[in-house]
């Protein structure tokens, strides 16, 4: 079994001590830092942007897994790459130019991900699965931490894994939302490769084993 990736979300960290949060990620089996960028339009909340990413980039060599919950992400890609993003995931629902954005990210030598909200079927991604590096399944409605995982969204993970196996695609499957000690095994069993956990990780609820 391939090693699973834990990517704790800074959204649930103490914003007054992001250095401490990154140290906790490094010391507790984190393989990437998940950074939720919210613009107050695609989702109601506003978080942080390029200046914060630039300022914490020097603190670690872990990959920055930047999740853009923003309208018209095509206008933001280049600036986030310059700020230090390694993986960039945008939302299918936020743009009419998903294929072009994936190309844009690849042209800059970075990994490209695409995400869908709980109400969006995976069928909309059919033309993109062959070229995407990461498919992020939101298992809660995006915009707020601490929500409960929506069980039906885990079925999307199983279906994506089936399609990947049948077609020979290479994308990784990421899950974000409501992953805690009680739900971790179910998302892993469904075929998740990248686990994003925020409040449960920083509250020491989620214990991670690299052999998962």
Active site residues: 36, 176
For residue 26, give both structure tokens. 């490094």
Between helix 18-27 and helix 50-57 the angle, nearest 10°, is 60
Enumerate the β-bridge partners of residue 6. Answer: 195
Residue 38 φ/ψ region, left for φ over 0, alpha for ψ in the -120 to 50 degree band, beta for the rest: beta
Strands (E), 92-164: 111-116, 134-138
Coil vs helix vs strand at 31: coil
């Amino acid at each position: 079994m391939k090693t699973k990736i834990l990517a704790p979300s800074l959204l649930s960290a103490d914003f007054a001590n992001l250095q401490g949060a990154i140290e906790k990620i490094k010391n507790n089996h984190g393989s990437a830092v998940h950074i939720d960028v919210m613009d107050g339009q695609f989702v109601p909340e506003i978080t942080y942007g390029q200046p914060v990413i630039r300022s914490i980039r020097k603190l670690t060599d872990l990959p920055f897994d930047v999740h853009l919950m923003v309208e018209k992400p095509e206008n933001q890609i280049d600036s986030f790459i310059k700020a230090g993003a390694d993986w960039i995931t945008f939302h299918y629902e936020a743009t009419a130019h998903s294929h072009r954005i994936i190309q844009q990210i690849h042209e800059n030598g970075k990994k490209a991900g695409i995400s869908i909200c709980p109400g969006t079927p995976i069928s909309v991604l059919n033309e993109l699965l062959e070229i995407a590096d990461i498919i992020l399944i939101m298992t809660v409605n995006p915009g707020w931490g601490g929500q409960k995982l929506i069980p039906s969204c885990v079925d999307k993970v199983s279906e994506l894994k089936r399609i990947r196996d049948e077609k020979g695609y290479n994308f990784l499957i990421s899950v974000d939302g409501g992953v805690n000690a009680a739900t971790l095994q179910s998302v892993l069993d469904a075929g998740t490769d990248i686990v994003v956990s925020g409040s449960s990780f920083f509250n020491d609820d989620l214990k991670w084993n690299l052999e998962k």
